[in-house]
Structure 1
Amino acid sequence: MIGLAGTQILLRNLWDASIGWGDPLLRVTVMWVGLLGAMAASRDDNHITIDLVSRLLEGRAKSVTRIITGLFSSVVCLALAWHGMRFVLFEREDQAIAFASVPAWMCELIIPVAFGIMALRFLTGVLAQLVPAAPGEP
Structure 2
Amino acid sequence: MQNTKIQRYVRWLHRVEDILLAGVLTLMLILAMADIAMRLITGGSLIWIPPVLQILVLWLGLLGALLASRSQEHIAIDVISRFVGPLGKKICGISGCLFATIVCGLMAYFSIEFIQTSIEYNDIAFAQIPAWPLQLIIPFTFSLMAVRFFFHTLGYLRIRNYQPNPALTGKAI
Q: Scaled by the length of structure 1, what TM-score is found?
A: 0.85
Shift, 1:132, TM fit: 3.5
**Aligned equivalents of 1:28 and 1:13: distance in 2?**
24
Which residue of 110, 132, 157 maps to 1:105? 132
Query: Unpaired runs of 5+ in structure 1?
Result: none
Which residue of 94, 109, 113 maps to 2:121? 94
Q: Does 1:46 align with 2:73?
A: yes
Query: Unpaired runs of 5+ in structure 2?
Result: 1-27, 161-170
Which residue of 48, 52, 60 maps to 1:33? 60
Shift, 1:52, TM fit: 2.3
Q: Give the stretch that moved more between structures: 96-105 or 118-127.
A: 96-105
Q: Give the stretch that moved more between structures: 56-65 or 1-10.
A: 1-10
Displaced runs of 4 or more, over 6 A? none
**Aligned equivalents of 1:92 and 1:73: distance in 2?**
28
Superposition CA RMSD, Å: 2.0
**Aligned equivalents of 1:51 and 1:66: distance in 2?**
9
**Aligned equivalents of 1:3 and 1:116: distance in 2?**
30
CA-to-partner distance for each residue in 1:67-116, whole Å, 9 max, x for gaps? 11111111111111111111111111111121223210000001011011
Q: Which amino acid aligns with 1:31?
A: L
Which residue of 40, 65, 90 maps to 1:63? 90
Which residue of 87, 91, 106 maps to 1:79? 106
Shift, 1:10, TM fit: 5.2
Answer 1 or 2: higher relative contact order, Cα 8 Å, separation at least 6. 1
SS in 2 for 1:98: strand
Q: Scaled by the length of structure 2, what TM-score is found?
A: 0.69
